Amino acid sequence: KPKLPVYSMEDVAKHTTKESGYWLAFKDGVYDVSSFVENHPGGKQILITAGKALESCWKIFTIHQIDHVYEILEEYRIGNLKEGEREKNEQQKMDTIDLFQYDPERVNEKINFIVRSQKPYNAETQPLMLIEHFITPTERFYVRNHMHVPFINIRDYALEVQTSEGKKYRLTYDELKNEEKYSQTTIVSALQCAGNRRAQMGELKPVQGAIGNATWTGVKLYDVLRSFGVLDDRSLENGKIKHVQFYGLDCDASQRCYGASVPIEKVLDQNSEILLVFKMNGETLTTDHGYPVRVLIPGTIGARSVKWLNKIILSDKEASSHWQQADYKVLPSTVLKPQQSDYDLQPSIQEGNVQSAICQPPPSSDSVKILSTKSDKTNGILTVKGYAIGGGGRAIQNVQISVDNGQNWFNVTNLEQQKQAYMQAWAWTLWSYDLNLKELELKNAPLEIVCRAMDIHTNTQPDTCKELFFWLNISRDDAVK
């Protein structure tokens, strides 16, 4: 034991900021790791432990990493831990660690977000608010986090690109935004969780989700990969690159990080407009939406648009993550007790399907039920509003509504759509229809209002979302909560 000042855990706990220095305790030592954190990009992970004892973080750092850290630590020793505190730390284990300490403060809760869970944070926009704006304001845009928000020091941030041969390249935030290096693209695109229309599907199985439509600015993934020369014809031809994997900085206790992948064909397709995004609605990405950089894969389910992007890996395999391998798959409804092999047989969901929903009046389930129209204050006019979106850039061709739960249909003529190129209709369609209840002579009859949409390839929605989402696996989400 070196001759050094003696500190208590109370002293250690006071050093959790840049100003006071980052201290931590381990075994019988006290360490000031400030300069380690400043100088080593990988060192930032250790900040989770600032003011704490490493022992209480066993679950975050694997034993291997602890050993590694221990070797480096001795250089940063500033003191000895007070008698008896070491034993207490060893008993304490996980209690003091809050993985969610870097989650941002959230103001949107004040504007009536529906918060499905706090840790991890999952919130969605109320239906009535959703259709108020064609471009969803960022503070109203749904947030879907599977884990905690990671700690990011922008000065250390660099995106890693790994080739199929394992060769690694790095790209800093400034390089990515340098317009002399990469030209920037801005698109309007909806982002939709595969579990959108959660309430409806929730009747079958509780899934979370939501949708929003925003402006995204970034550089084309294709351009970035090309700039590193990693998409050479030889690797493409010999099948070494079949998928592009993305991993976030949000990782669980065993350092398994959120990840997803898309087929290489999608990335090579010049129409696909996959972006490495750093701006949303004209502003720097917010923490919850993936600051500093996220992927946006327009027309594809939200799960593939990885936030807090850390690594891009070119591979002959899909991402190894749970979210690619088991979550976000649709099994045939005939599978009653799904086994892993059932998931293995099914492809991961990529492009979205045709989708539409009623937001006004607020839906109770798949439909809007109005039991009596007798005492309505609408002068006989009931305005029904909602959104529609096609997957893979396929524009919405028409939307229809029915007041008798799908027996008779009216064509919705009032569609708000953005002009977008063929197969690049990433934005949603907002629609509204004035139902003339008097004309319909339905004054006393209960109404069951439903909607449906068709895309330009005449794909339509199934009658209910039952078939489609019955086996959308959500086991991981349950486990996290």
Annotated active-site residue in 86, 116, 140, 144: 144
Nearer CB in complex with ligand MTE: 115/440 = 115
Nearer CB in complex with ligand MTE: 301/382 = 301
Nearer CB in complex with Mo ion: 25/303 = 303
Partner from ligand MTE, Mo ion, none binding residue 391, C-beta < 5-8 Å depending on class: none
Query: Could you tell me how many residues of this chain bind ligand MTE (CB under 6 A)?
Result: 18
Specify which residues 25 forms β-bridges with. Answer: 30, 53
- Min dist CB 123 to ligand MTE, Å, is 9
When asked if residue 142 is in the footprint of ligand MTE (CB under 6 A), the reply is yes
Nearer CB in complex with ligand MTE: 146/198 = 146
Of 150, 137, 139, the residue nearest 107 (C-alpha): 139
List 29, 298, 302, 393, residue binding ligand MTE (CB under 6 A): 302
Distance between CA 48 and CA 305 in Å, rounded? Answer: 26
Q: Pick the stretch among 71-79, 137-145, 171-179, 386-394 that binds ligand MTE (CB under 6 A).
A: 137-145
Specify which residues 415 forms β-bridges with. Answer: 431
List 99, 187, 188, 193, residue binding ligand MTE (CB under 6 A): 193
Nearer CB in complex with ligand MTE: 198/452 = 198
Of 124, 199, 159, the residue nearest 306 (C-alpha): 159
- Min dist CB 429 to Mo ion, Å, is 21
Of 329, 336, 342, the residue nearest 473 (C-alpha): 329
Site track 185-224 with Mo ion (rule: CB under 5 A), x = hit: --------x-------------------------------
Distance between CA 267 and CA 220 in Å, rounded? Answer: 9
| DSSP secondary structure letter of residue 165 | T
Using CA atoms, how far residue 334 sits from 205, 322, 330, in Å, is 16, 23, 11
When asked if residue 250 is in the footprint of ligand MTE (CB under 6 A), the reply is yes
When asked if residue 248 is in the footprint of Mo ion (CB under 5 A), the reply is no
E strand residue ranges, 62-210: 77-81, 114-117, 122-124, 143-144, 158-162, 168-172, 184-192
List 47, 73, 81, 143, residue binding ligand MTE (CB under 6 A): 143
Strands 6-7 and 77-81: parallel
Annotated active-site residue in 193, 257, 359, 451: 193
Element (H, E) at 69: helix 63-73
Residue 452's φ and ψ, nearest 5 degrees, are: -155, 155
Partner from Mo ion, ligand MTE, none binding residue 143, C-beta < 5-8 Å depending on class: ligand MTE
Distance between CA 175 and CA 185 in Å, rounded? Answer: 15
When asked if residue 145 is in the footprint of ligand MTE (CB under 6 A), the reply is yes
Annotated active-site residue in 7, 291, 328, 433: 328
Partner from ligand MTE, Mo ion, none binding residue 207, C-beta < 5-8 Å depending on class: none
Residue 469 Ramachandran class (φ > 0 left, ψ -120 to 50 alpha, else beta):
alpha
Nearer CB in complex with Mo ion: 51/212 = 212
Nearer CB in complex with ligand MTE: 86/198 = 198
Helix (H, G, I), strand (E, B) or coil at 172: strand
Active site residue 64: yes
How many other C-beta atoms can be found within 10 angstroms of the C-beta atom of residue 382? Answer: 22
When asked if residue 385 is in the footprint of ligand MTE (CB under 6 A), the reply is no
Partner from ligand MTE, Mo ion, none binding residue 182, C-beta < 5-8 Å depending on class: none
Of 414, 413, 415, the residue nearest 389 (C-alpha): 415
Residue 150 near residue 251, CB atoms below 8 Å: yes
List 52, 144, 322, 385, residue binding ligand MTE (CB under 6 A): 144
C-alpha Rg value of the chain to the nearest Å: 26
The contact set with ligand MTE (CB under 6 A) reads 141-146, 191, 193, 248, 250, 258, 289, 302-303, 305-308
Residues involved in catalysis: 40, 64, 144, 193, 328
